[in-house]
């Protein structure tokens, strides 16, 4: 018994560590209070723990107890109930309240909590109204009792989350093998990333423009109403200063330089009310979160483009000196690292693509023939002999179930939900983290029951307890049996890129209907048609993307050079590098991006004529930047307003 407890505790500890690593990869939890971080960690940890509990429960009741991991049925039932109802409270109560708490623009915490509770009360009221029809059906079908009411709540939550989880899982099971296969060809992946650049740049510039307007208002408020001498004890002074402290320094300086006084920019004291400040704070936070997310996405694509370009250069180089200059350092010896990054890694990516494709085929087939002898997962579990080894069977089922959850979560992270929520590396905002955390927790239990339904035998504690609610009424039972078979619909739509074609046919191509698109939808829509016109358009888009990338890399290189110039005091200014960026990575890659002499693969979309036009544009840009750097005075057509001479010297353009 002691060893079983130690083994189980080790498994759950590993799940907790994995959940914590996943969250820290996407958001800096340590800067948030414990009342935010604790529910978020729990929302990700509980689904991870289910991946251990489900195979343990199922294998123990179908193939016998697992050696060293035997747990009583009563303990398993308590674990299932505790996991489900904790997840239910997190996804329907605590995380939505926290999400609105960090979304609203109120300043005081008590006011933020009141506003959050008010918004959630409205949402819950709408949900209850939608449940009235189901309650009427329940009364007619099974009778109205407290137990049936509780079962109805479980069933409704199950059906809603199951539809969402299976749709996302179907998309992931097609896209993940496709993306892995793409990683096996450097040139194709490079063009794939180039096709994303123009859209990312447009979105990023629009976000910057919106955020600059908010920054300008905050700076005007700060200049006019935070000086104790001229403004007195202004009640919104601390609020304004807190907003001003959140503005990035480079953006703050840019807005100050470009600011020109006009009547339209003035804000009177009478305008500054609680409603005005609340709305300003909400807009400021929303645009700031979007700016962080889109900047992070853009940096990731830029880094990947530069890395792929270096790998292509290394493969085409003739001598080892040039090859090793383009290879990232690793724990492997230099030449071995070259062979691994340039040749072994693409082959491994293709092998991984084939393996996950086979997993996808097995799961999709099993979903269509679930609860029958034709289910491939059922065949693997009971016909291949692994059922004779309980631990091996549990590990096999664990891998299948983890892949199902991974596909759903991967697609969820790529889903554009009204362009409000963004899960990005290290820079996710608290509102988006709450949203994605709640849906990760919400989808896990329905996927667990769906996984058990893939087998001919469903014998388990989970089925005995949770299945009673699902089979409460005939309609719920019918939906639970047929929804998995409809998995083929999103699989076909994703495989053949039919989403855009259908939207075009029914007139839903405008931007307002893009909330259900995925991040890769914009790229795929550029490659749908086989016509020559669209192929030429694709070449033009790639050429434009190369120009934009070259401009961005050159801008960062110039910014680094300026920051490293001697300051007026004779001390070198510290280099301000973008977060997560290597300065040498960008500075050494601008020329290689624009002047390539390596042979292209067959079917390549890059052409020498396009490279020539891009190289000419780069040389023009370079001469323009150099001429501007030689100037020591501001532009004459920009009106700069400073409080005094010292302030003007601090913002002198070098």
Residue 632 has pLDDT above 80, yes or no: no
Range of lowest pLDDT (249-263, 423-437, 585-599)? 585-599
Local confidence band at 42 (pLDDT 50, 70, 90 cut-offs): very high
- What is the reported pLDDT for 136? 78
- What is the reported pLDDT for 641? 39
Q: Where are the alpha helices (DSSP H) in 515-607?
A: 521-525, 532-563, 583-587, 590-594
Residue 200 has pLDDT above 80, yes or no: yes
CB 8 within 8 A of CB 29: no
Residue 39 has pLDDT above 70, yes or no: yes
Residue 580 has pLDDT above 90, yes or no: no
In terms of Cα–Cα distance, which of 254, 223, 484, 476 is closest to 366? 484
Residue 528 has pLDDT above 50, yes or no: no
- What is the reported pLDDT for 593? 42
In terms of Cα–Cα distance, which of 167, 37, 18 is closest to 94? 37
185-194, 501-510, 638-647: range with highest mean pLDDT: 185-194
Local confidence band at 197 (pLDDT 50, 70, 90 cut-offs): very high
- What is the reported pLDDT for 499? 74
Residue 530, C-beta contacts closer than 8 angstroms, at least 6 positions apart? none
Structure tokens at 503: 């939207």
- What is the reported pLDDT for 654? 26
> What three-state secondary structure class fits 47?
helix
Alpha carbon distance 541, 638 (integer Å): 33
Residue whose entry in the numeric block shows the structure tokens 């023939």: 369
Cα 363 to Cα 169, 241, 446, 465, 555: the distances in Å are 10, 55, 16, 25, 48
**417 or 19, greater pLDDT:** 19
In terms of Cα–Cα distance, which of 492, 537, 206, 181 is closest to 346? 181
- What is the reported pLDDT for 650? 37
Mean pLDDT for the stretch of residues 617-630: 46
Residues 435-461 have pLDDT tens digits of 999 999 999 999 999 999 999 998 999
Residue 408 has pLDDT above 50, yes or no: yes
Residue whose entry in the numeric block shows the structure tokens 């992946």: 189
> What three-state secondary structure class fits 22?
helix
Alpha carbon distance 282, 420 (integer Å): 13
Share of the chain above pLDDT 90, in %: 47
Residue 254 has pLDDT above 50, yes or no: yes
Residue 265 has pLDDT above 80, yes or no: no
SS (H, E, C) 301-366: HHHHHHHHHHHHHHHHCCCHHHHHHCCCCCCCCHHHHHHHHHHHHHHHHHHHHHHHHHHHHHHHHH
Residues 313-368 have pLDDT tens digits of 999 988 888 888 888 878 888 889 999 999 999 999 999 999 999 999 999 999 99
In terms of Cα–Cα distance, which of 323, 422, 353 is closest to 189? 353
Local confidence band at 67 (pLDDT 50, 70, 90 cut-offs): confident
Residue 160 has pLDDT above 60, yes or no: yes
- What is the reported pLDDT for 257? 82
Task: Give the count of beta carbons closer than 10 Å to the beta carbon of residue 377.
Answer: 21
Local confidence band at 384 (pLDDT 50, 70, 90 cut-offs): confident
Structure tokens at 574: 């510290």
- What is the reported pLDDT for 241? 92
Structure tokens at 628: 């501007």
Residue 274 has pLDDT above 90, yes or no: yes
Mean pLDDT for the stretch of residues 7-15: 87
- What is the reported pLDDT for 611? 41
Residues 449-493 have pLDDT tens digits of 999 999 999 899 999 998 877 776 667 778 888 889 988 898 998
Residue 250 has pLDDT above 60, yes or no: yes
Mean pLDDT for the stretch of residues 529-547: 78
- What is the reported pLDDT for 44? 95
Q: Which residues of 199-221 are buried (b: 16+ CB within 10 A; e: fewer)?
A: ebbebbeebbebbbebbebbbbb
Residue 435, C-beta contacts closer than 8 angstroms, at least 6 positions apart? 99, 417, 421
CB 397 within 8 A of CB 58: yes
Local confidence band at 535 (pLDDT 50, 70, 90 cut-offs): confident
Give 415's strand partners: 518
Residue 165, C-beta contacts closer than 8 angstroms, at least 6 positions apart? 408, 443, 446, 447, 450
Alpha carbon distance 323, 109 (integer Å): 57
- Global pTM reads 0.79
Alpha carbon distance 392, 386 (integer Å): 6
Local confidence band at 613 (pLDDT 50, 70, 90 cut-offs): very low
- What is the reported pLDDT for 501? 75
Local confidence band at 81 (pLDDT 50, 70, 90 cut-offs): very high
Residue 521 has pLDDT above 90, yes or no: no
Residue 597 has pLDDT above 50, yes or no: no
Cα 141 to Cα 149, 215, 316, 426, 463: the distances in Å are 12, 58, 71, 50, 22
Give 566's strand partners: 572
Mean pLDDT for the stretch of residues 2-10: 76
- Round the average pLDDT of the chain to a whole number and report it: 80
Residue 529 has pLDDT above 70, yes or no: no
Residue 259, C-beta contacts closer than 8 angstroms, at least 6 positions apart? 216, 219, 265, 641
Range of lowest pLDDT (280-289, 405-414, 561-570, 590-599)? 590-599
- What is the reported pLDDT for 518? 62
């Amino acid at each position: 018994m002691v060893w079983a407890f130690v083994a189980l505790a080790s498994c759950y500890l590993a799940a907790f560590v994995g959940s914590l690593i996943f969250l820290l990869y996407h958001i800096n939890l340590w800067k948030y209070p414990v009342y935010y971080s604790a529910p978020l960690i729990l929302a990700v940890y509980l689904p991870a723990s289910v991946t251990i509990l489900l195979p343990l429960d199922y294998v123990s009741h179908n193939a016998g107890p697992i050696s060293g991991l035997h747990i009583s049925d009563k303990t398993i039932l308590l674990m299932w109930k505790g996991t489900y109802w904790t997840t239910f409270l997190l996804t329907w109560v605590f995380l939505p309240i926290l999400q609105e708490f960090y979304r609203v623009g109120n300043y005081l915490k008590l006011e933020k909590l009141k506003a959050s509770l008010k918004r959630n009360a409205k949402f819950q009221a709408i949900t209850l109204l939608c449940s009235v029809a189901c309650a009427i059906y329940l009364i007619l079908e099974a009778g109205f009792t407290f137990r049936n009411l509780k079962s109805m709540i479980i069933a409704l939550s199950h059906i809603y989350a199951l539809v969402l989880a299976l749709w996302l899982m179907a998309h992931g099971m097609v896209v993940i093998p496709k993306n892995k296969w793409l990683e096996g060809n450097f040139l194709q992946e490079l063009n794939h990333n180039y096709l994303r650049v123009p859209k990312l740049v447009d979105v990023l510039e629009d976000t910057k423009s919106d955020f600059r307007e908010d920054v300008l208002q905050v700076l005007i408020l700060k200049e006019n109403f935070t000086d104790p001498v001229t403004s007195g004890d202004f009640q919104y002074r601390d609020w304004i200063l807190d907003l001003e402290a959140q503005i990035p320094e480079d953006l703050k300086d840019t807005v100050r330089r470009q600011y020109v006084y006009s009547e339209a920019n003035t804000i009177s004291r009478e305008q500054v009310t609680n409603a005005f400040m609340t709305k300003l704070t909400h807009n400021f936070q929303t645009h700031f979160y979007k700016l962080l997310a889109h900047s992070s996405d853009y940096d990731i694509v830029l880094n990947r483009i530069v890395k792929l370009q270096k790998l292509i250069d290394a493969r085409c180089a003739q001598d080892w000196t040039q090859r090793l200059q383009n290879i990232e350092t690793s724990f492997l010896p230099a030449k071995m690292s070259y062979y691994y990054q340039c040749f072994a890694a693409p082959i491994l990516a293709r092998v991984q693509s084939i393996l996950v494709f086979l997993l996808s085929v097995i799961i999709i087939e099993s979903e269509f023939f679930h609860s029958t002898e034709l289910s491939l997962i059922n065949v693997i579990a009971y016909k291949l002999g692994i059922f004779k080894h309980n631990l091996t069977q549990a590990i096999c089922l664990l891998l299948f179930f983890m892949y199902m959850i991974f596909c759903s979560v991967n697609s969820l992270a790529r889903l554009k939900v009204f362009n409000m929520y963004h899960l990005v590396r290290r820079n996710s905002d608290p509102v988006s983290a709450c949203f994605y955390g709640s849906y990760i927790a919400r989808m896990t239990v329905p996927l667990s029951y769906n996984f058990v339904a893939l087998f001919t035998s469903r014998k388990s504690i989970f089925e005995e307890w949770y299945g009673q609610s699902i089979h409460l009424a005939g309609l719920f039972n019918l939906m639970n049996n047929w929804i998995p078979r409809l998995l083929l619909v999103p699989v076909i739509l994703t495989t053949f890129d039919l989403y855009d074609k259908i939207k075009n046919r029914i007139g839903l191509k405008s931007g307002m209907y893009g909330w259900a698109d995925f991040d890769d939808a914009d790229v795929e829509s550029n490659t749908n048609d086989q016509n020559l016109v669209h192929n030429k358009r694709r070449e033009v888009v790639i050429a434009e993307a190369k120009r934009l990338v070259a401009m961005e890399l050159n801008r960062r290189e110039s910014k680094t050079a300026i920051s490293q110039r001697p300051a007026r005091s004779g001390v070198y200014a510290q280099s301000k590098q973008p977060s997560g960026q290597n300065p040498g990575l960008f500075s050494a890659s601008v020329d290689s991006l624009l002047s390539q002499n390596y042979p292209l693969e067959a079917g390549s979309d890059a052409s020498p004529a396009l490279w020539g036009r891009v190289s000419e544009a780069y040389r023009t840009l370079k001469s323009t930047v150099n001429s501007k750097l030689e100037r020591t005075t501001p532009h004459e057509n920009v009106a700069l307003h400073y409080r005094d001479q010292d302030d003007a010297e601090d913002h002198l353009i070098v």
